[in-house]
Amino acid sequence: MSNYKISNKRKIVISIKESISRIVLFFLYRGIKVLYKKDSRVKEELDALEEGFSLEMKTSINGPKLIIKKENNDIIKLKEAENVDISICFKSIDAAFLVLTGRQGVAQAYAEHRFTLKGDIAVAMAVVRCVDLVESYLFPKFITKNILKEVPKREKSMLSIYRTIILNF
């Protein structure tokens, strides 16, 4: 049991970051799901993965998380999973928040040891390429140019993807 105390201000900051991270993970999941059907590059990357492939992305040990699984040519969200193929766990909510809000790219966060990765790194890179594509649709160009080496050209309009993510899901 630790003897340190967290200030009320820090508790509020953590709570806000966790809430925003939950929202971003929600849109990330829906973005992956929609782009799997609408963007040939995302489809190609995910189709190369085995049926039943699962990914867990945790913002911290006890923070918000996203668990997805490839099943029957679709991407589904799971509440829990015991064994996942790839597990990405950020070392803190602060590290996750930087990546999830587009302030830092996944490659830079990896280089700075802001998260741990369990599973095959080659498979994880395919997932990261998908996340990069999703970010290119979800974030405006002025953000993506700072977090991606190269901003991928969109196959569909950003507005069309947002509309599908929000309304036609």
pLDDT at position 98: 95
pLDDT in tens, 35-71: 999 999 999 999 999 999 999 999 998 999 999 999 9
pLDDT in tens, 61-76: 899 999 999 999 999 9
Domain boundaries, the chain: 8-166
Q: For residue 62, what are the CA distances in angstroms to 14, 50, 110, 121, 165? A: 12, 28, 20, 24, 27
Under CATH, which number does the domain 8-166 receive?
A: 3.30.1050.10
Residue predicted with more confidence, 132 or 96: 96
